[in-house]
Amino acid sequence: MQTKENAVAKKKETPLSMDVSSLENLAGMGTENVGQRDLQLPFLKILSQLSPQVTQGDSKFIADARPGMIYNSVSDQCYNGQEGIRVIPCFYKLEYLEWKDRGQEGSGAPVNIYDGTSDILTQTNRGPDKKDRLPNGNYIEETASHYVLLVDDNDQPTETALITMKATQRKKSRKWNSMIMTQRVKGKNGFFQPPSFAQIYRLKTILEKNSLGSWYGWDIDFDKNVPNQTLLTAAQDFYNTCKQGEVNVKHGEEEAPKQVESDSTPY
């Protein structure tokens, strides 16, 4: 796979040996019964020094992947973190995910997912590893899910995806939500708060540090309001799909990077 310095890995294209017009009349056939629940929503995550994509010899290794890049879990595309990506925040959801410790049987997916209104954290105690532990030994992660529509440099929609923020990145999620809610547009009756899916943001990555070590985190800036009806309609359609609960999310897909030290290392 090849990557552009300031963009994304190119997708492989297979040349057609027939006239494209002969396929045009058959467009979409065979997928009539495929809905959003039948599709895998990509996760966009930041690669760390320990991510399998940058670990030579790992089955998920990508030659051009580097720490600080933004990785698409479905297409294996890697975006330059300094250039960033442009996204429309279409839907937001806070959840509490219950996990078994890494390496235990069944640790590849959450044991339970609790709604953002749950009081599950009242049943936990902070362990030596700074994780919120339940009496059964499992731990709870407060997880902010941002459902987004990727936008290219020509203001065209490309694909939908999910960005989850937890641990040290929760403050980034709160800041992003505050940025979204403080935007104002002047209408015929004065200023009003536009829908989140009428706004475009640029997400880059930056190196962060604390007493536990260093890692790459999100850097979020407002880009501009959605400039055309086509893009707005695409974003609103994804919002409606998310709100109706029709998006298929597999939280094991945004797996944490391998640890060589304590599991308390933040990412």
Question: Which of 61-65, 77-81, 147-151, 263-267 bottoms out in mean pLDDT, i.e. has the lowest?
Answer: 263-267
Q: Can you give the pLDDT at residue 106?
A: 62
> What whole-number distance in Å separates Cα of residue 229 and Cα of residue 18?
35
Q: Which secondary structure element, helix H or strand E, spans residue 85, and what is its range?
A: strand 85-99
Q: How far apart are CA 75 and CA 90, in angstroms?
A: 21
Query: 68: phi > 0 → left, psi -120 to 50 → alpha, else beta; which?
Result: left
- Residues facing residue 222 across a β-bridge: 201
Let me know: does 117 contact 141? Beta carbons within 8 Å.
Answer: no
**Left if phi > 0, otherwise alpha if psi is -120 to 50, otherwise beta: which for 80?**
beta
**Residue 143 in this model has a pLDDT that exceeds 70:** yes
Mean pLDDT of 88-99: 96
Q: Answer yes or no: are the C-beta atoms of 95 and 214 closer than 8 Å.
A: no
d(CA 87, CA 234): 12
Distance CA 18, CA 35 (A): 29
Local confidence band at 18 (pLDDT 50, 70, 90 cut-offs):
low
Output the pLDDT for position 267. 43
pLDDT at 108: 78
Instruction: List Cα–Cα distances, 86 to 8, 77, 80, 160, 196, in angstroms.
Output: 12, 15, 12, 12, 14
pLDDT band per the 50, 70, 90 thresholds, residue 3: very low
Total Cβ atoms within 10 A of residue 134: 16
Predicted pLDDT at 23: 75
Mean per-residue pLDDT of the chain:
85
Query: Is the pTM above the cut of 0.85?
Result: no
Instruction: Please list, in sequence order, all residues whose beta carbon lies within 8 angstroms of the beta carbon of residue 222, skipping any fewer than 6 positions away.
Output: 179, 183, 199, 200, 201
Higher pLDDT, 146 or 130: 146
Residue 111 identity? V
Tokens of 11: 């997708």
The reported pLDDT for the residue numbered 13 is: 54
- Give the DSSP H or E segment for 192: strand 190-192
Q: Looking at residue 262, what is its pLDDT?
A: 36
